Chain A
Amino acid sequence: MKIDRRLIKNFDWVTFSLIIILAVIGVMTIYSATRPPLPHGTMPSYYMRQLYWVIMSILALLLMISFDYVWLKRVSYVLYGLGMFLLLLVFLLGRTGMGAQRWLNLGIVSFQPSEVFKLFYIITISRYLSELQGKVGLASLLRTFFLFAFIPILMLIKQPDLGTAIILLLVFLSIVIMKGLQRKAAALVVLISLVSVPFLGNILWEGLKDYQRNRLVAFLEPETDPSGIGYHINQSKVAIGSGQVMGKGYLKGTQGPFRFLPEKHTDFIFAVFGEEWGFAGSVVLLFLYLSLILRGLDTASKAKDEFGSLLALGISFMFTIYFCVNVGMTLGIMPVVGVPLPFMSYGGTSLLANFVAAGTLINIRTRRFALFY
């Protein structure tokens, strides 16, 4: 494949710069969060590993934009099948971590297939919907749901990876809504949303693992168990709140390195950031993410085909949901569901998957003019 001059000219530098900035902030924050509390302690290598992953992710991103995304449409079902296979693998022989089976051990690295799967999932649904004519009717809605969403969501609940399951469901709904729903189908979506909250609540409650129940209880009443899961929320709020306007300063935060904040370099990284950079830093960070997402929506509106448009929307919504659920959790306005902050949380698979997803956005934007093709 030869690289077109105009391809470089149209390259989406904005999205690319934004995710690089976020990833660098992420590595810096991981460094601060995991630094030893004493000056002579040994520095854990989390930040280094994350840095390697950033480099690998950039390579993967470049690979992603080297071909026209339309090709993805063609291989989407293969990708979906691959993703399902990986999920099944986790299901059968996955490594258990934090009470949930999410990782596959590949010798040197363990990775989380669900992180990879979600991109394949969006590609496949986008393709399927883009091939439908007009608005989505009731039958198509149900067919799409049971064909592509139902089984993986069920498997994720079973893993249990409730966070990702909920996000997949939300992503599905948002893509379907953007495609456009016929009246009946729209009514069903609304009805399901309304009914499923209490119904799902009950089913889920019974099927929840203890730690998940605790998280819900803790979310509703964080003060009742100061040392349990509510402790996490409280310590996260303490970390963020103590940042005040300008923050304590980089490498001056205490909640993370002093171990008051759990999961400081993964799910609660926003709290570490908020403590050190304060309201000023938090607003800048919110602005960076918002820019990334709005850029994605803009890409969607400019895409040369409906597949690209739906794909860009799906990815942007996924970022939105991840971001809101994660930051909402650290701010104590969402239950603790354990999803990473895209581009910043420690974790290779997630970083790689998000870079590839962002690469897809860049790809769609770069190749938005049909005449190039």
Chain B
Amino acid sequence: MSINVNSSEKILISSYVIIALFFILAIRTWQLQILQGHEYRKLSEENRLRIVRVAAPRGIIFDRNGTPLVKNTPYYFVSISPQNLDRLDISALAELLKIDRVVLLEKIKNRPQQNLYEPIRLKEGLSAKEIALIEARRSEFPSLAVDVDVSRDYLFGNIGAHLIGYLGKPNEFQYSSPDFRDVPSNAFIGQWGVEKLYDRQLRGTSGERIIEMDALGRELRLIKETSPIRGDDVKLAMDIKLQKEAEESFGEKTGALVAMKPDTGEILALVSKPSFDPNLFARGIRQRQWEELNQNKKLPLLNRSLQSQYPPGSTFKIITAIAAMEEGVIDAATKVTCTGEIAYGRWHFGCWQKQGHGTLSLHRALVESCDVYFYELGKRLGIDKIASYARMFGLGRETGLKMVKERSGVIPDTKWKLEKRRQPWYLGETFNASIGQGYVATTPFQIAQMMSIVATGGYIYSPSLLKVDTKPEPLRRLPVRQETFDEVKKALSGVVNENGGTGWAAKSSMVNICGKTGTAQVVGVKKDSKYLAETFRDHAWFVAFAPYEAPKIALSVMVEHGGHGGAAAAPIAKGAIETYMKGQRLENRQTAH
């Protein structure tokens, strides 16, 4: 039988069909290997190679005398590589790790989507016994690994927590920020205080391990390794002894204390009470503890030295006094008579001393904190002049410390009132403002800075959290006459040391302390604070510097609802100054030898 022509034709056609089929396959191969080849090559590399970042040991934070404030301690955790999770015996693993099965499942399922190949941490802070137990059964769970990481120990606990800060996982915003691109995915970064502000220096340069892995997630080979570079140490301006003394002298009271070295701008102490234990954050705070801290009515996570503003009360009289002297509305001899109140239209503005202070000059008016005297100065100056002097001393403006999102305070004037309240300024408001009440609001940090400028006689230094080794150049000198500062400083010494001075409680046998009390009204009720519920009680202020002759420390103390400044805040200031001066003497003696 022979093949007919028809059949040959069909065979030819089918050859073409088959060639076409092969052509389609070739086109597809071309598409995958040539058009998308580069992309697939990358994918195959990603399959095989894992880049594991290794966090660098974090720099240590020291106080100004070289006392370490933090320590890095090893910390063990167990993690599992995410490949072939479906073959995992969850129940057996839960039993081994002593975690609830549901919790374990949750951890495995809810891993972050952006790093699917990253090992999942299952349990952290393992004890030696737990590690031994896991290692003994490693063969059953080949993708399980025990690793060591470094945890941060805050050696002084609550002390200086707001200044030193704490670590935490990068948040969403930080995660996508280029500044944190080099941070290993499980590493913590500074989230508060100095830990946050100097995170760049402290965290160093993370290392990198490029590892070849198989599909089961087993590490086959280390291809390349770059060692991490340890973070830089940071030496704070803070004096831990002073900080500790200051915090402890607050006891259960809430408030803030800021101490500075007037001739350098170094921040010697920064207290915000109540505080918190940063060790809670060291390896990720538990939800319950975080909620507790957040819901605490005393707001322990609020840095009161920068994030709270209060009426400065009579501490503001320093500004009013300087303004009046400089503007020539008074001189040192100008006398005003206080009868216990001043009348303005149908309003009466009282002095805290209801019987009146009699006739007095600026010196005694500051010493005794006579309100009527300063009403008179306010009347003579006008609000706008007072405000401009207040601003010169840094009030009503952010400090530029950048440590937290701070409050700027309020220094009101006629323009401010028109803008904010759409109302004209009334003289009565000037009376209030001239004694630091009414709209005036400041942070404890601003008040400390103000006192620092007074102590230096008008030189302004940039505030510094870090210790400065060589005396810095002042930013500028205020255009205020030396005589004015001399007069005011003399009066401030009188506040503490003279008879009838409101700051008598700060009087020290060790050092000549200059200060000013302040009592900021919380509500406009004129009643003795003792009988008021605590939350309506006045805030107590005390600002000081010492010694009088050559100031080494300037500080502000603010006790929330502390009542009278002289009674509640002055002893804290005194304790802090004495502690610091003792340390200074010790240091001097050591350097003398």
Inter-chain CA distance A257–B36, complex, in Å, is 23
Candidates A259, A274, A294, A301; contact of B29 at CB < 8 Å: A274
Residues of A within 8 A of B21 (CB): 320, 324
A311 touches B (CB below 8 Å): no
Inter-chain CA distance A255–B41, complex, in Å, is 11
A263 touches B (CB below 8 Å): no
Per-position binary interface string of chain B over residues 1-33, scored 1 when its CB falls under 8 Å from any chain A CB and 0 otherwise: 101001110110011001101101110111011
Inter-chain CA distance A274–B30, complex, in Å, is 11
Inter-chain CA distance A48–B36, complex, in Å, is 35
> Do residues B30 and A305 form an inter-chain contact, with CB atoms below 8 A?
no
> Do residues B3 and A301 form an inter-chain contact, with CB atoms below 8 A?
yes
- Please report the number of residue pairs spanning A and B whose Cβ atoms sit closer than 8 angstroms: 136
Q: How far is the CB of A24 from chain B (nearest CB, A)?
A: 21
CB-CB nearest in chain A for B214: A258
B459-517 contacts to A, CB under 8 A, are none
B221 touches A (CB below 8 Å): yes
A34 touches B (CB below 8 Å): no
> Do residues B47 and A290 form an inter-chain contact, with CB atoms below 8 A?
no
Main secondary structure of the interface of B (DSSP, over half): helix
Residues of B within 8 A of A242 (CB): 37, 40-41, 43-45
Residues of A within 8 A of B8 (CB): 301
Q: How far is the CB of A291 from chain B (nearest CB, A)?
A: 10
B39 touches A (CB below 8 Å): yes
> Do residues B28 and A331 form an inter-chain contact, with CB atoms below 8 A?
yes
Knowing A244-B41, A324-B21, say if A254 contacts B48 (CB, 8 Å): yes
Q: How far is the CB of B83 from chain A (nearest CB, A)?
A: 9
> Do residues A244 and B37 form an inter-chain contact, with CB atoms below 8 A?
yes
Number of interface residues of B (CB under 8 A): 41
> Do residues B11 and A245 form an inter-chain contact, with CB atoms below 8 A?
no
Main secondary structure of the interface of A (DSSP, over half): helix
Number of interface residues of A (CB under 8 A): 51
> Do residues B22 and A289 form an inter-chain contact, with CB atoms below 8 A?
yes
B220 touches A (CB below 8 Å): yes
Per-position binary interface string of chain A over residues 228-256, scored 1 when its CB falls under 8 Å from any chain B CB and 0 otherwise: 00000001011111111100000000110
Inter-chain CA distance A178–B26, complex, in Å, is 26
CB-CB nearest in chain B for A41: B220
Residues of B within 8 A of A332 (CB): 28, 32
> Do residues B86 and A238 form an inter-chain contact, with CB atoms below 8 A?
no
Per-position binary interface string of chain B over residues 305-335, scored 1 when its CB falls under 8 Å from any chain A CB and 0 otherwise: 0000000000000000000000000000000
Candidates B11, B30, B41; contact of A279 at CB < 8 Å: B30
A32-86 contacts to B, CB under 8 A, are 37-38
> Do residues A306 and B3 form an inter-chain contact, with CB atoms below 8 A?
yes
Candidates A130, A174, A235, A327; contact of B25 at CB < 8 Å: A327
CB-CB nearest in chain A for B26: A286
> Do residues A180 and B44 form an inter-chain contact, with CB atoms below 8 A?
no
A128 touches B (CB below 8 Å): no
Q: How far is the CB of B16 from chain A (nearest CB, A)?
A: 10
B216 touches A (CB below 8 Å): yes
Candidates A279, A305, A306, A320; contact of B34 at CB < 8 Å: A279
Residues of B within 8 A of A174 (CB): 14
Inter-chain CA distance A237–B29, complex, in Å, is 9
Residue pairs across A and B with Cβ atoms less than 8 A apart, 24 shown, are: A37-B220, A38-B220, A178-B11, A178-B14, A180-B6, A238-B40, A238-B43, A240-B33, A243-B37, A254-B48, A255-B44, A257-B214, A260-B47, A260-B48, A260-B214, A279-B37, A283-B26, A290-B18, A294-B15, A294-B19, A297-B14, A324-B21, A328-B25, A331-B29
Contacts from A to B (Cβ < 8 Å): 37-38, 130, 174, 177-178, 180, 227, 235, 237-245, 254-255, 257-260, 274-275, 278-279, 282-283, 286, 289-290, 293-294, 297, 300-301, 303, 305-306, 309, 313, 317, 320, 324, 327-328, 331-333
List the 5 closest pairs (A to B, CB-CB), nearest first.
A241-B40, A242-B44, A244-B37, A259-B215, A279-B33
